[in-house]
């Protein structure tokens, strides 16, 4: 059971969110959403108009996906941003629906904080996010018209992200060697960061007035482009997009069973000069070199995540995606945490407790641990989020690792491929170890690219970061025979 839904599908409106039409006046603007192969995923729109005491901007998107013989799933999103007469953001409402499942997020902006309420059929959760001075809510769109790259090569600012429920750092720059086209248009690179960690990359196509005409987001196995178009073209009927086929990439080598159970060394170069740091887990050691990175994976290759008290405490706290303080999750995890067992045994037992809630495989969307208990379906991302939440409920520090995994056997008609995947890293018996509730076991084909708390952004980031790596070498490392 390998899950790919959120890698390609969650928050696709983020691309449309920053796309601006040639005439940013009142009215409705339409966009098409398509994969690199030309396959249409869906459409989006943005409508701007007056509202009592100010203005209102409404973003809507809809995509239709399927997998093999499964029914078509509709994934829709509606975001309403309300501004006062001076253009200051007052509130943001985000309603999303995947099939019959839904969630609603409401953010009230006042002074130096955003008060956010997230509601699902399973719970209602309220959080407060501090807003730094000068924080933006438009992804930097309003800065582009006056941007002079010669004077300021890199635009850098803080931006509130309603999807991630946090403030992120964004940079926009013109890549080296980029030239304007005949009409004066130019492509720029936008990067989103969580602290110092790269979380998203997109290429923006600007016209000569620095208005955004298209956004291309690289994804492992494909890319997603959101482009300004007309209503008829945007809403034209199309077959549902095949999810899994679009997120698989052939392995440069066929890996044997013995190799993945042992020690594998990968060497990657960075595409387009976009370098980023890979995480080091208990099984993954990362050696950075100029323009490339070497990754060694085996049972005890890596140094593990930090083990200082603050880091371990952070890996125990409940979050919006892992509600380990909720009575339903406590009822499953806490009794196991009190048993006289090793940490490894507790995690193994928690995997067994999680399995009944993952019986129905569903690849579309991304859901929290509590939602998964109610839906009783999901893919590897739901498996990882649920297991990590149960671990925290049992008193075991956990994080969610996302990256790639190898499939040697035929899977949905394709074999010998790498595909996006998520699993759990847990601090047990004095060290960090990986546990995979979806595939039942961890092996050396699990390449971690992000570590997070089961949030959509960190999981989707892994697919984007994977697209920035170019395989240079992959080899089995064998111990030298003794004398």
Average pLDDT over residues 7-21: 43
Q: What is the pLDDT of residue 412?
A: 57
Q: How confident is the model at residue 481 (pLDDT cuts 50, 70, 90)?
A: low
- Residue 211 bridge partners (DSSP): none
Coil, strand, or helix at residue 254?
coil
Determine the Cα–Cα distance for residues 100 and 284; give it in Å rounded to an integer: 39
Determine the Cα–Cα distance for residues 376 and 365; give it in Å rounded to an integer: 14
Q: Of 264, 256, 299, whose CA–CA distance to 435 is shortest?
A: 299
Query: What residue has token string 């999807």?
Result: 163
Return phi, psi of residue 393, to 5°.
-65, -30
**Contact of 81 with 46, CB cutoff 8 Å:** no
Q: What is the pLDDT of residue 4?
A: 40
Average pLDDT over residues 21-32: 71
Q: What is the pLDDT of residue 245?
A: 60
Does the pLDDT value for residue 416 go beyond 90? Answer: no
**Contact of 483 with 302, CB cutoff 8 Å:** no
Q: What is the pLDDT of residue 110?
A: 94
Share of the chain above pLDDT 70, in %: 88
Share of the chain above pLDDT 90, in %: 61
Q: Which residue has the higher pLDDT, 170 or 409?
A: 170
| Token couple for 476 | 């089995």
Integer-rounded Cα Rg, in Å, for the chain is 22
Q: Which helix (H) or strand (E) holds 13?
A: helix 13-17
Q: How confident is the model at residue 12 (pLDDT cuts 50, 70, 90)?
A: very low
Q: How confident is the model at residue 468 (pLDDT cuts 50, 70, 90)?
A: very high
| H helix runs in 367-466, sequence order | 369-375, 380-393, 456-466
Determine the Cα–Cα distance for residues 89 and 103; give it in Å rounded to an integer: 22
Q: What is the pLDDT of residue 21?
A: 41
Coil, strand, or helix at residue 28?
strand
Taking only the tens place, the pLDDT of each residue in 278-321 is: 999 999 999 999 999 999 999 999 999 999 999 999 999 999 99
The conformation of residue 480, written as its DSSP 8-state character, comes to P
Average pLDDT over residues 90-108: 92
Q: Which residue has the higher pLDDT, 201 or 37?
A: 201
Coil, strand, or helix at residue 128?
strand
- Residue 123 bridge partners (DSSP): none
Determine the Cα–Cα distance for residues 428 and 434; give it in Å rounded to an integer: 10
Does the pLDDT value for residue 67 go beyond 70? Answer: no
Return phi, psi of residue 113, to 5°.
-150, 155
Note the residue count of the chain.
483
Taking only the tens place, the pLDDT of each residue in 379-414 is: 889 999 999 999 999 999 999 999 999 986 655 556
Average pLDDT over residues 129-158: 92
Determine the Cα–Cα distance for residues 435 and 426; give it in Å rounded to an integer: 7
Q: What spatial distance separates the first Cα and last Cα of the chain, rounded to whole Å?
A: 43
Mean pLDDT of the chain: 87
Q: How confident is the model at residue 364 (pLDDT cuts 50, 70, 90)?
A: low
Instruction: Please report the domains of the chain, with CATH numbers, ordered by start residue.
Output: 5-238 (no CATH), 249-477 (3.10.620.30)
Q: How confident is the model at residue 170 (pLDDT cuts 50, 70, 90)?
A: very high
Determine the Cα–Cα distance for residues 378 and 362; give it in Å rounded to an integer: 5
Q: How far is CA 65 from the centre of its chain?
A: 18
Does the pLDDT value for residue 8 go beyond 50? Answer: no
Does the pLDDT value for residue 15 go beyond 50? Answer: no
Average pLDDT over residues 100-118: 94
| Nearest-10 crossing angle of helices 343-354, 327-337 | 140
Determine the Cα–Cα distance for residues 103 and 374; give it in Å rounded to an integer: 14
Distances (CA, A) of 212 to 31, 67, 140: 12, 33, 11
Query: What is the sign of the dihedral through the CA atoms of 215, 269, 302 and 403?
Result: positive
Taking only the tens place, the pLDDT of each residue in 242-264 is: 766 656 777 877 888 888 899 99
Does the pLDDT value for residue 184 go beyond 90? Answer: no
């Amino acid at each position: 059971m390998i899950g790919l839904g959120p890698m390609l599908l969650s928050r696709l409106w983020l691309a449309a969110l920053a796309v601006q039409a040639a005439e940013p006046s009142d009215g409705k603007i339409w966009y098409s959403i398509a994969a690199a192969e030309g396959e249409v995923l869906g459409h989006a729109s943005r409508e701007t108009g007056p509202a009592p005491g100010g203005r209102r901007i409404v973003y809507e998107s809809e995509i239709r996906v399927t997998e093999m013989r499964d029914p078509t799933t509709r994934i829709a999103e509606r975001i309403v941003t309300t501004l006062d007469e001076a253009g200051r953001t007052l509130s943001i409402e985000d309603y999303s629906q995947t099939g019959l499942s839904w969630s609603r997020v409401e953010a009230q902006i006042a002074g130096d904080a955003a008060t956010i309420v997230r509601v699902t059929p399973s719970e209602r959760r309220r959080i407060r996010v501090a807003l730094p001075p000068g924080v933006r809510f438009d992804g930097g769109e309003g800065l582009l018209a006056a941007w002079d790259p010669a004077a300021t090569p890199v635009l850098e600012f803080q931006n509130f992200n309603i999807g991630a429920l946090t403030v992120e750092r964004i940079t926009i720059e013109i890549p080296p060697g980029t030239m304007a086209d005949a009409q004066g248009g130019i492509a720029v690179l936008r990067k989103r960061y969580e602290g110092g960690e790269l979380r998203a990359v997109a290429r923006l196509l600007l016209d000569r007035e620095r208005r955004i005409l298209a956004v291309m987001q690289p994804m492992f196995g494909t890319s997603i482009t959101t482009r300004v178009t007309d209503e008829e073209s945007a809403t034209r009927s199309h077959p549902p997009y095949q999810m899994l086929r679009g997120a698989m990439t052939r392995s440069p080598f066929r890996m044997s069973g013995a190799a993945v159970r042992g020690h594998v060394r990968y060497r990657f170069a960075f595409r387009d000069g976009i370098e980023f740091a890979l995480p080091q887990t208990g099984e993954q050691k990362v050696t950075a070199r100029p323009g490339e990175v070497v990754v060694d994976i085996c049972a005890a290759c890596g140094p593990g995540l930090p083990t200082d008290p603050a880091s371990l405490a952070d890996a125990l706290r409940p979050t919006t995606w892992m509600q380990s303080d909720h009575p339903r999750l406590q009822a499953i995890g806490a009794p196991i945490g009190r048993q006289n067992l090793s940490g490894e045994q507790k995690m193994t037992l928690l995997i067994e407790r999680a399995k009944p809630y993952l019986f129905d495989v569903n690849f579309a969307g991304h859901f929290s641990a509590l939602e998964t208990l109610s839906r009783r379906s999901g893919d590897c991302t739901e498996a990882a989020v649920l297991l990590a939440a149960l671990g925290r409920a049992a008193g075991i520090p956990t994080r969610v690792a996302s990256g790639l995994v190898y499939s040697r056997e035929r899977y949905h008609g394709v074999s010998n491929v790498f595909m996006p995947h998520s699993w759990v890293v847990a601090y047990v018996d004095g060290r960090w170890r990986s546990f995979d509730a979806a595939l039942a076991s961890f092996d050396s084909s699990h390449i971690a690219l992000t570590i997070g708390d089961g949030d959509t952004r960190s999981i989707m980031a892994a697919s984007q970061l994977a697209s920035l790596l170019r395989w240079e070498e992959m080899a089995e490392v064998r111990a030298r025979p003794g004398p």
